[in-house]
Amino acid sequence: MKIRFTKYQGTGNDFVMLNNLNGNYDNLSIDSIQFLCDRKLGIGADGLIKLSSSDSYDFEVEYFNADGSQSFCGNGARCSIAFAKEIGVIEKETFFHAIDGPHKGSVENGIVRLEMLPVDRIDVFGNDFFVDTGSPHYVHFKQDSDIDIVSYGKVVRYSKEFEKEGVNVNYLIERSNSCIEVETYERGVEDETLSCGTGVTGCALVFMQKKGMENGKISVNTKGGKLMVEAMKNGDGFDNIWLSGPAKKVFDGVVND
């Protein structure tokens, strides 16, 4: 099958984007998704996104990790908004649906803002934290003596607690009262990614809670670029959560599956 695709990246998180408004790729197999995301044999990406039509929303985002598993992806959703604008589905603002529910978003001057779903609580694991921002994230405040994120991520991800469902693992480094750095090991990719939208959001919320912040903006540096997280405290959790940053087209292409 001939597949027409567009490659996008959001702070180094890269995706194969498929225009599925006409249902051309409804039956795309897991094997095909794995092939397309393969960096040696296929196009190469952290994940694949099908942008499909919806009766109730502007569009539907179907996100697949590189191994073919499905989840919500913050940077993938932001790239989907930019892609939807490129192919004429939206102009500036949007209301779309993803695997975790409905989301609002907007795009202007290359910056894409995405409203994340509310987070009810942040759980404590000893000195570490667990938060679900559409995908599950384990957050550890990095120490100088800590091993690299891939080695540490595998230990946590394949631990008895998380082995069955999997978990994304994050190092959080404080730089100031309003700036942090984040490193992420992603399940489904099973490696470090240059950026992770849900991970960045989770780390920012953990940081805000630890600092006792009721609301604010946290600047987040990743290896792939800078993102911004805005949120307001609500009981034990947060709402009015927005993730913003660049989303850029890389190239168009055609591949035979």
Q: Which residues are catalytic?
A: 73, 196
Q: Where do the DSSP E strands lie in the chain?
A: 2-10, 13-20, 47-52, 60-65, 93-98, 101-108, 111-116, 123-125, 128-132, 136-141, 168-176, 179-186, 191-193, 215-222, 225-234, 237-246, 248-256
Integer Cα distance of 63 and 69 in angstroms: 9
Q: Among 204, 193, 217, 178, which residue's Cα sits nearest to residue 75? A: 193
Phi-psi category of residue 139: left, alpha or beta, with phi > 0 → left and psi -120 to 50 → alpha: beta
